Amino acid sequence: MGDYKLSAVLRGHESDVRSVAFPHPTTVVSASRDFSVRLWKLQSEKPPSFDSTIKIQGKEFINSLAIVPPTAEFPEGLIVSSGKDQIIDVRPPSKALDDNAEALLIGHASNVCALDVSQDGRLIISGSWDTEARVWQVGKWEDSTVLKGHEASVWAVLAYDSATIITGCADQQIRIFQPTGKLVRSIKTGDVVRALCRLPPNHPSGAHFASAGNDAVVRLWTLDGHQVSELRGHENFIYSLAVLPDGRLVSAGEDRTVRLWEKNECIQTITHPAISVWTVAVCSENGDIVTGASDRLVRVFTREPQRYADPAAIEQFSEDVKSSAIPQQSMGNINKEKLPGPEFLTQKSGTKEGQVQMILEGNGNITAYQWSMAANQWVSVGTVVDQAGSDGRKISHNGKEYDYVFDVDIEEGKPPLKLPYNVSQNPYEVARKFCEDHKLPLTYLDQVTNFIVQNTQGATLGQSTSQGADPWGTDARYRPGDAAPSQAPPQPPAPKAKILPQKEYLDILTANHKPIFKKLQEFNQALVNDGSKGLSMNPSDIEQLSAAVSLLEKGSAKDIDPSAIDLIVKAATEWPEDKRLPGLDLLRLLFSAEEPVAYLTTEQNILQRLASSGAFAPTSPLNNTMMAVRSLSNLFKTDIGRAIAGDEFNQIHESVSAFLTTPNRNLIIAITTLYINYSVLLTGDNNADRVLSLLDDLNKILHSAKDSEAIYRALVATGTLLSLDSDFCEAGRDILQLPSAISAAEKQAKEPRVKNVVAEIREQLQD
């Protein structure tokens, strides 16, 4: 029977994990839509834990991954990856992030969604949305052979052996080719094919390979095109297949499950607290399984007790599954009136592993239960909801994962309290527990309950993506959102009667200090290697920077030596543009402390240096500009910083105004954060020219912004400025035509918090 349990959870990716590989018991490789490929190495065995190194940081989604095994020419093997940028990156695993790839394979004309490597390590096979599959010879990188005849996207490729290549296509056919490009056979399947897997020789079924796809059926085939059997149990698209050393199959799909199959039967179902499990792979040496999912996490499962995660982690995984929210649209039509009640769970047994049963609970919620053959019982796997509060990405709080973690201001001058919430929970019960935990009077109960409802009821599962249309009919399905910004944006406002005007300054201080410093060291070493001694730093400089980063991490920026600040400014403004980001990231943190700001503005003339360095030039890398704007936002953290922001308004405004219609999410959020801070600052300095200038800018942002967070911040800034004087409302209404911008924003971002602030602004404009 199936007995796989959680072994390890690998955290680090910032978006969906789309492909994984498990080449060695101590090594996992993962590719994500956060534009990165990570190499994970086992750090400790009991319980297992892994640490990651980013091997590729691209500029587009990375969707596919394969591993070339060690050969005489490449003794450590090669990591092969690709995605939306259409370029196949090939590199040894030991290469540093900034090293050149072994090869960049160019030929595809659209997203490369499938990769595989022959067992002898000689061939790489790729499949793409451009309706082509290609064969590349390892070490002979210049040319490729096109496998022609596909009429739609090639979703799956399989290098079956040195003489046989198999492709799976959205045109509902499996094709078998020779590496020369000769088509040997076509097999009609009846639905889109998304996954292929080689079966070991002498498989008990007599089949040679397996396929799966949109019809949620795993099919076993012989090479002559004969279908041997069908494995049924999944309830949605199957995205990935793998095989265990003993020949048992593993599948993963959009029903949130990984399933193990033996003799045509599902013997174990591993449900994930995610919207979709995109990928699964197996370690051929020990039979452990690795998965990648929409919740950004990589998970390892094992059947060996010595490699189990600690009991608390296993229990937490189970609790995360139980508390997860299942979008009703993924479950088909549910007739609530005909669902059985909880008594069904004790009166009826399931008929097969992984069978799902909906139960109408006494509180009116619909809970999904899954039958476990091993436990001989129904296991809760989540609550069915009309809508859910995230795009599959959970927020960690006290070791648990939540859809939301709100900041709630209860008492002036004290830090906000954290209010964690999953959309599958009862808002009233969460509010009651929150009040009890923090010893709040029961008069807060209704207020907190209403706050939860108002700030979660409009969220939806999945977000639109800049990736472009999926060419074969999946646009209506779950699609992961863009990568989250590196800093956590401010949470929705605490439960108050009114949102406007904003009274507090916002800052952007969250940082991963060690990775920033590590990246700065890597860039410095690259300058040393290039012979750029005038720009690079010597070992004593690096020691000074290390001490400065440690102080930043401890919140003691005021104690940083001015010579270390000089080094940070040098890295942020004098290094080559493609190497400035870590310096700018550290500069952002310095801008929040009184003493560094005083030194930066008086001794370094930092605002002028940022401008003259090209940080706000149209040709500047947008991440550099974004980080520079975040620095400006942090000026408002201190008295001296606010004074500088006021004195240098014209220069700062000129620097950022060229980027008001940027499609870059992180940059426009940084700009709208800066504008919120200026709106608060102007509350004490009612400068009409500045107010109208900012309102004009915000008008442009509201007409062009697509991201709901940026829209919300722009609205808060707008409403706060309008609160300053009725004359500004009149100008906004009659001259700037703000009502049109407000309507455009409301139409673009249909969230309760947006509707609430829009209602307040309209009330202002009507007065």
> Are 422 and 393 in contact, with CB atoms under 8 Å apart?
no
Of 191, 155, 149, the residue nearest 172 (C-alpha): 191
Burial class (CB in 10 A: 0-12, 13-18, 19+), 12: buried
Q: What is the pLDDT of residues 607-649, one digit of tens each?
A: 999 999 999 999 999 889 999 999 999 999 999 999 999 999 9
Distance between start and end Cα atoms, the chain: 71
Rounded to an integer, what distance in angstroms lies between the CA atom of residue 10 and that of residue 16?
Answer: 13
- Write the DSSP string, 143-186: EEEEE----S-EEEEEEEETTEEEEEETTSEEEEE-TTS-EEEE
DSSP state of 244: -
> Which regions of the chain are under pLDDT 70?
1-2, 325-333, 385-396, 399-401, 409-414, 423-429, 441-447, 449-451, 453-497, 767
pTM of the model: 0.54
H helix or E strand, kind and range, residue 322: helix 311-322
What confidence score (pLDDT) does residue 454 get?
A: 56
Of 709, 716, 587, 580, the residue nearest 641 (C-alpha): 587
Order of all β-strands in the sheet with 103-105: 62-68, 78-83, 88-91, 103-105
> Are 212 and 195 in contact, with CB atoms under 8 Å apart?
yes
What confidence score (pLDDT) does residue 11 get?
A: 92
Whose structure tokens read 């590590």? Answer: 518
What confidence score (pLDDT) does residue 262 get?
A: 92
Rounded to an integer, what distance in angstroms lies between the CA atom of residue 585 and that of residue 627?
Answer: 6
Per-residue tokens: 60: 């587009």
Per-residue tokens: 429: 């019960």
Strands 183-188 and 209-213: unpaired
Contacts made by residues 336-344, CB under 8 angstroms, sequence distance 24+? 336/360, 336/366, 339/366
Rounded to an integer, what distance in angstroms lies between the CA atom of residue 59 and that of residue 150?
Answer: 28
Of 102, 88, 199, 79, the residue nearest 133 (C-alpha): 88
What confidence score (pLDDT) does residue 15 get?
A: 86
What confidence score (pLDDT) does residue 630 get?
A: 93
Taken in order of first residue, the domains within the chain and their CATH numbers are 327-385 (no CATH), 395-456 (3.10.20.870), 509-651 (1.25.10.10), 660-767 (1.25.10.10)
* Coil, helix or strand at residue 114: strand
H helix or E strand, kind and range, residue 128: strand 123-128
What confidence score (pLDDT) does residue 766 get?
A: 85
